[in-house]
Amino acid sequence: MLKDIIISFQAYFQAHRFIREQKLWKWILVPGILYAGLFLISFIYFSQTSTAFIEWFILKTGLRSWVERLNNGSLSFLLAMGTLLVWLISLLFYFSLFKYLFLIVGSPIFSYLSEKTESIMEGREYPFSFSQLLHDMKRGIFLALRNSFWQSIYVLTILVVSFIPLIGWLTPFMALLIECYYYGFAMLDYSMERMKMSVPRSINYIGNHKGLAIGNGMVFYLLHLLPIVGWVLAPSYAVVAATISIQPLKKAEQSISNSTTTGI
């Protein structure tokens, strides 16, 4: 899995060179600016509502007054850490829902960008088909809803575990890994669809190469540490990087297939 994660990291550097050489900036900036604007607005709204809700919950359950009555420094520290952990996991949960909504809305652009990347790399054209576009959109929406459901189950379970002292401190890392995997999964599936893989087969294939999905998602989230610029570049860079990262596997499978055919 580590090898696949490294491949995904390297694919982002290759994606940057590829985008610059092929002058694909309009396909990067248009969805990127829309994404960055929506992300900023929704993040501000989330911060305000989530903080207010957590504070209301602590007061309503009596946790705050109970800790203050005991006047215990260790308990106060645990309450502060627990509050922070719940906020971080809630942030990831919000980000997950926001991400899937954007994936559904942007699926036509992302599908086209992935296809264009592959057509340039392989030196072949994919003729435009409106029916194929509709098929890609339906598949993207289905997978987004499916992944959103399972990821929500995992994150809500992790949210419960986060209340356990000490063990709960690991939960943001666990939630982040799950978030990275499912985002990378969505980016890789555009290539799976062009390889004529059914949804179940795509799920199995990507499950066998978890590192590619996790690595793609990791860099996507790391780009968010660069305010504005990183937010604009992250979505489309992830698509191009995922398409590039799957090429070595695709070529290896084709080589095996050709060898088998020749042997027969």
Written as one string, the DSSP assignment of 203-258 is HHHHHTTHHHHHHHHHHHHHGGGSTTHHHHHHHHHHHHHHHHHHHHHHHHHHHHHH
The predicted model gives 80-96 an average pLDDT of 70
Q: What is the largest CA-CA distance in the chain?
A: 80
Nearest to 107 by CA among 202, 183, 194, 190: 190
For residue 245, the tally of other CB atoms under 10 A from its CB is 28
Alpha-carbon distance of 171 to 180, in angstroms, equals 14
The pTM of this model reads 0.77
Sign of CA dihedral 6, 9, 11, 13: negative
Here the contacts of 161-169 (C-beta below 8 Å, separation 24 or greater) are 162/82, 162/85, 162/86, 162/89, 163/82, 163/86, 165/78, 168/82, 168/85, 169/81, 169/85
- Picking from 21, 101, 100, 40, the residue whose alpha carbon sits closest to that of residue 230 is 40
pLDDT in tens, 199-228: 888 889 888 888 999 999 999 989 988 888
Give the pLDDT of residue 255.
61
Give the mean pLDDT of 6-13.
92
d(CA 221, CA 79): 28
Query: How far apart are the C-alpha atoms of 66 and 61, rounded to whole Å?
Result: 9
Q: What is the pLDDT of residues 73-86, one digit of tens each?
A: 666 666 666 677 77
The pLDDT value recorded for residue 35 is 86
